[in-house]
Structure 1
Amino acid sequence: MSTTKSARAVALETLIRILRDGSYSNISLNNSLRHSQLSQADRNFCTRLVYGTIQYKIYLEYQLHDLVKTKLKEDYLLPLLLMSAYQILFLDKVPNRAAVNEANLLAKQFGKPHSTGFKIVNGILHALIRRGPVLPDKQDSVQYLSVKESVPEWLVQYLIANWGIERTNSILTSINLPAKNTVRVARVADFEEVIKKLTELGFEPEKSAIATDELVLARGGVSETSLFKDGKLTIQDEAASLAVSAFNFVGEEEVLDACSAPGGKTVQIAENLTTGHVTALDIHENKLRLVKQNADRMNVKDRVITKAMDARKADQIFEQGQFAKILVDAPCSGLGLLRRKPEIRYTKNLNDLTNLQKVQLALLDHLSGLVQAEGELVYSTCTIAVEEDEAVVKEFLKQHPEFELQAFKAGEIDAPDGMLKILPDSYGSDGFFIAKFVMRG
């Protein structure tokens, strides 16, 4: 990528890939930034443009709908209009004149020869500035919330049905706040010394309210520090780290992490072992490379074994009762990650929840026999959908009466009934679900 490209040009290229090709926002953005020569300030601005535009896509489309009078034939036009509208409506520090001027320059840069795209862009953006933002009538609470918080109507209805209108308001407001920068400090590291060094580097660390080994940082960029490179800490969400802390480790156990990539929880398990091992499964060999890299960086590779396979076939490979503990961090809809991966809200639907439930139950069914008597089985997801969480637990217990839920404490949170549901507005973390089963002796 040319060193002359601006933050807006890099953001626009990224948005075109995301909106046209369905690329994951975090992966696409990371690739764009890695190949750019942007300063840290411009990287931050580019990141905000990409995530903000995706996050508020429904709202921004609603603002533009009545202003677009012609078919947008070139694939850069809609992403450019959305990105520019985001700046006009959300970024107070960007003057409207600058947003329009830069949009015109980008239209000329990205348009075909002799294209009149810049005239279309210029006209629409000036019309938006004159008119200002609009919202649907509040009488229709579903459409109003859908547009205001930029969430599909089916999801608004789903949240209201399960948690009521007030909690839905709170959840939707929460998911549009910036995601926290959180790190988990390695067990072998001196916690206070890590805090001291992060403070010296200007990260302003604060202790997590829910996870005893997590810190919340004031800014990103920690992966460039020696603390990260030397395995003193790793980037991990507060709620996600609680799944492993639900186990009661002795240190000598053989543990199975059934859905391990990219390896954050695998490494966390390994840190709790002394003579034991964790076997990490993933269906894709290339993803297991990430697990190995993480284990190597965090200095626990001697306790990690990787195997490429579908976890639903694990009972054909491993022996009955082979593992003292099994973590099933199951594939899910990801509805707890809407703050961190905003495009998820546009790619999922109700059918996904029931289809994924079948996969989740199949995983638990095939893996449950590998747990030894009185062994622990932890099921976790990064979704808040009842179909993938509580309903899976209920059906699994119905099919496997040899298991029962067991109370646990994860970090600072007690789960007396053996299940823990964290909604996105509970602590400002990812939405997450954890259930702990124990095999009856």
Structure 2
Amino acid sequence: MAVRRWTPPPCLILVKNGLKTVRFWEVVADPRLVALGWLIRVHEGRSVNDLLANSSQSPGSDRHPANQLSPQQKAQAKQILYGCLRYYHQLKTIAENLLAKPFKDKDLDLLLVVVTGLYQLKYLSTPDHAAISESVELTRKLKKKWASGVINGVLRRYQREKDEIEDSLSKSLQFQFSHPGWIIKKLRQDWPSRAEDILSQNNQHAPMILRVNTQVISQKDYLSQLTENNYQASPHPVAADAVVLEKASDVFSLPLFQSGGVTVQDAAPQLAVELLQLDENLRALDACAAPGGKTGHIMQRQPNLELTAVELSPRRAQKIQETLERLYPAQSCHLICADVTEVEDWWDGQLYDRILLDVPCSASGVIRRNPDIKIHRKTTDIQPLVEIQSKILDKTWELLKPGGILVYATCSVFKQENDAQIAAFTKRNEVEFVSLPNKIEKKLNNEAEFGYQIFPGEAQMDGFYLCGLKKPG
């Protein structure tokens, strides 16, 4: 479906002149309308993370519609946003089944009104009458009151005939799994016995996992601080520096967060440092460094090494800098904003002992944290990504000393980006494989031919792949 740029309705245009006369609803906060606005922006190509960050950090953010909401209303808007993204393909299938004729491309906002209404009816404890009436009210706020009867009829029919409607759709894969068909097909091809569990896990809420800065405090002592501050948490069963919060919390309220004692990072990428086998006085490269979590973990585990981090995006490089300054203010990292494959533009000519290579990928392993991936990612994206990964892998391998270790990593569960990528690489190069410590390896249900494939939800981790490669010599 083609998407036109969305113009906010009057209720999202805030009054700049206090003397201006407006209708009451124009300045009343509406969490459903804010969630709808976010959903439309996602369909225009914006990421959820950027949208939510911009609503609170951009210039004039105090006037942003989302910030006119109370904390409870903002939580409701986010719940609707994330829920509609997780179950978008399922809810869209229901909507298309109920509509007598599809909405025109210019009325994408109306399709999303139906999706938000269906989500509330199916998954939330919102009273049915409120979910329906508020959805109908959105058509007025969108200046499309002509559609109110359609919205009302579709939602009321679902309310009356829910079981029959869902039974009639039970053989639809997009209804069953709420993923685009190409992802379902690819996972079934790659992991026949795992596919349904991966799809199910992708629709769950991911736990909030922290990495304790053990230069500041031990994991055990930090867990004690959390308990003292009424947080329920436990040590992660696999990653040595990780802590799992029972309930997601505002990071800025966490003990020691602002002073650098802890950061947010899933447990799976924390395993990369274990494969790197770090030691003092080594020369190390983090070749695709954003968002900087693994860069920081390298600095944490081995302060006495020479570390270079390369990142293509200036904005993301700035975020890395801010993170490292908060966590490791007394340490140095040579941060370079450059295309890592354009080696002549940034490399000083000295080979590296260790290289971490977390390449651009489909992000198919982190859908539960970023459900907008199911809307943004297309099947045609995969081969170009594979080619970029191969190019980066070949270029950085040339920068590794004989006897050095390179760790290749993705947040993908597609074999094309992982096992197949490494299989192709081993045909071009002589390599030795590096294993995780046995105490970690035995806790993983690894099914990869090369390296380690972690599936979403395994030991509370995100989907992630990592493979340690040692250059002979």
Query: What's the TM-score, normalizing by structure 2?
Result: 0.85
Give distance in 1, aligned partners of 2:281 and 2:119. Answer: 53
Read off the aligned partner of 1:108 and give its amino acid letter.
R
- For 1:86, the equivalent position in structure 2 comes to 119
For 2:320 and 2:423, locate their aligned partners in 1 and report how far apart those are by CA, in whole Å: 31
Shift of 1:372: 1.5
**Counterpart in the other structure of 1:118:** 148
Tell me whether 1:422 sits opposite 2:454 in the alignment. Answer: yes
Residue 186, structure 1, aligned to residue 217, structure 2: no
The 2-side partners of 1:223 and 1:374 are apart by: 40
Distance 2:288 2:55 in 1: 28
Question: What secondary structure is seen at the aligned counterpart in 2 of 1:159?
Answer: helix
Q: Percent identity?
A: 27
Quick one: distance in 1 between partners of 2:133 and 2:112? 16
Matches of 1:215 and 1:145, distance apart in 2: 36
User: Once structures 1 and 2 are overlaid, which stretch shifts more, 122-131 or 318-327?
Assistant: 318-327
Question: Does the Cα contact within 8 Å between 1:407 and 1:418 map onto a contact in 2?
Answer: no
Following the alignment from structure 1 to structure 2, what is the Cα–Cα distance between the partners of residues 410 and 13? 49
Structure 2 residue 30 is the aligned partner of structure 1 residue 6: yes
Residue 231 of structure 2 corresponds to which residue in structure 1? 203
Cα–Cα, structure 1 residues 413 and 44, in superposed 2: closer, same or farther, change >3 Å? farther
1:338/1:273 CA distance change after superposition, 3 Å: same
Q: Corresponding residue for 2:39?
A: 15
SS at match of 1:32: helix
Post-superposition CA distance 1:127-153 (Å, at most 9, x none): 22112153476995xxx3322111122
SS at match of 1:375: strand
Alpha carbons of structure 1 residues 145 and 338: separation in structure 2 relative to 1, 3 Å: same
Determine whether 1:129 maps to 2:139: no
Does residue 255 of structure 1 match 2:284? yes
Deviation at 1:102, TM superposition (A): 1.8
Q: Deviations over 1:5-54 (max 9, x none)?
A: 132222111112112x1211222133336641434333332222111101
Distance 1:160 1:75, change over 3 A: closer
Residue 385 of structure 1 is aligned with which of 406, 410, 414?
Answer: 414
Is 1:64 paired with 2:95?
Answer: yes
Which 5+ residue runs of structure 1 have no aligned equivalent?
none
In structure 2, give the amino acid aligned to 1:264.
G
Match 2:387 to one of 355, 358, 380: 358
Contact 1:209/1:412 (CA < 8 Å) preserved in 2? no
CA distance in 2, matches of 1:341, 1:421: 19
2:174 to 146, 157, 161: 146
Matched, 1:30 2:53: yes
SS at match of 2:302: coil
Q: Does 1:95 align with 2:123?
A: no
TM-score by length of 1: 0.91
Question: In the alignment, is the contact (CA less than 8 A) between 2:355 and 2:406 conserved in 1?
Answer: yes
> 1:80-111: per-residue Cα shift (whole Å, max 9, x none)?
211111010111x2111111122223222222
Name the SS for the 1:219 alignment partner: coil
Question: Is the Cα contact below 8 Å between 1:315 and 1:367 reproduced in 2?
Answer: no
- How far apart are the structure 2 equivalents of 1:411 and 1:33? 42
Residue 281 of structure 2 contacts residue 306 of structure 2 at CA under 8 Å; is this kept in 1?
yes
The change in CA–CA distance for 1:30 and 1:96 in structure 2 (over 3 A counts) is farther
Give the number of aligned pairs: 432
Unaligned runs of 5+ in 2: 1-11, 15-26, 62-66
Residue 294 of structure 2 is matched in structure 1 by: 265
CA displacement at 1:354 relative to structure 2? 2.4
2:169, 2:175 within 8 Å by CA — same for their partners in 1? no
Q: Distance in 1 between matches of 2:362 and 2:328?
A: 32
